[in-house]
Structure 1
Amino acid sequence: MKITMVAAAAENNALGKDNELVWHLPDDFKRFKAITSHHHIIMGRKTFESFPKLLPNRKHIVITRQKDYEKEGAEVVHSLEEALKFSSDQDEVFIIGGGEIYKQALPYADKIELTRVHDTFEADAYFPEIDESNWKLIHSEYHGKDELHKHDFTYLTYIKSKNQPQPISTIQN
């Protein structure tokens, strides 16, 4: 099973504040949907509760310390290890937040799909620092701000360094 972390983080690794994103990037939402559809998505309870409804075409696995927590349409577990065990029959699973879950998942992850938002923000949740000695950047795709996107951003794909090195591809939009 391949474990991929999917996140959008600012230059200072900010993810969000008060359980909400601090930017609006419609193209990033489309990319997230394309990447995660028809897969298991693993997240913390606060991330799950930030959604207005269940995300379609995905199996939601929610990690919480609350022993009696239940939500219709979601599988509730109490550790990252339990979430991964529940998903062990999958080819690929996606870790989608929040900050503490990303931190726990980093040692298990094979790949990171990161949208780097080119600005800094005040936040209360942060993405862990990517140690470039452990991760290899294999793809970078820059997007400038426009009428729908108030911030420049870059899609970055990293794989664990132990994987076969692949040439980096760079696309400018």
Structure 2
Amino acid sequence: MNSIVVVDENWAIGNEGRLLVHLPGDLKYYKEKTTGNHIIVGRKTLESFPGAKPLPNRTNIVLTRDENYSKDGCMICHSVEEVMDFISAFDAESIFVAGGAEIYREFFDICDTFFVTKIYDKFKADRYFPDLDKEGGFEVQWESEMQEEKGVKYRFFKYVRSNNR
């Protein structure tokens, strides 16, 4: 299973329910990776999507504690176990955990591959992703050339879990 995330130099991922910065190149990368696949998101993340609608051409799996929540075009689950049951028929390589912070935390130990966009800057933040460089048990399998948009420098990385669990 994969995780896909944008982090700054402090591994921050968001502030007050928003992404740290809008980078069209990163959004394009996200679309390339997740289109035709399955994404797991929390309710707040889903509601941050354009029009608060599920992303097209993907299975949108929403994990929420709200038993009454419903959204057209989404599979709604209320526990990690329910998500795992639902995705058991899918190829693990086609599943992307896509946020927010609580969802990343819930699935962190299950994911083996992490697609990380690293921004070379620091932002005010209240949500963080585990620092895979310090966490131990992860190695960089691939990294892109430096990208730059709107004066913001960033790279794409593919981390893989290197330890046996």
TM-score by length of 2: 0.90
Deviation, structure 1 residue 110? 1.1
Give 2:5's match in structure 1, choosing from 4, 7, 18. Answer: 7
Q: Number of aligned pairs?
A: 159
* Counterpart-to-counterpart distance in 2, 1:150 and 1:22: 14
Residue 42 of structure 2 aligns with an amino acid whose one-letter code is G
Within 2, Cα distance between the matches of 1:104 and 1:54?
A: 21
d(CA) in 1 for partners of 2:162, 2:154: 24
1:15-164 matches, within 5 Å, as: 15-52=13-50, 53-91=53-91, 92-130=94-132, 131-145=134-148, 148-162=149-163
Structure that is richer in helix per residue:
2
Aligned-residue offset at 1:106: 1.1
Unaligned 5+ segments in structure 2 are none
Q: CA deviation at 1:102?
A: 0.9
The one-letter amino acid paired with 1:136 is E
Displacement of 1:20 in angstroms is 1.4
Q: Distance in 1 between matches of 2:39 and 2:104?
A: 12
Q: Give distance in 1, aligned partners of 2:128 and 2:19.
A: 11
The alignment's C-alpha RMSD in Å is 1.5
Q: Which 4+ stretches in 1 moved above 2 angstroms?
A: 142-145
Q: TM-score, normalised by structure 1?
A: 0.86
Conserved 8 A contact 1:4-1:94: yes
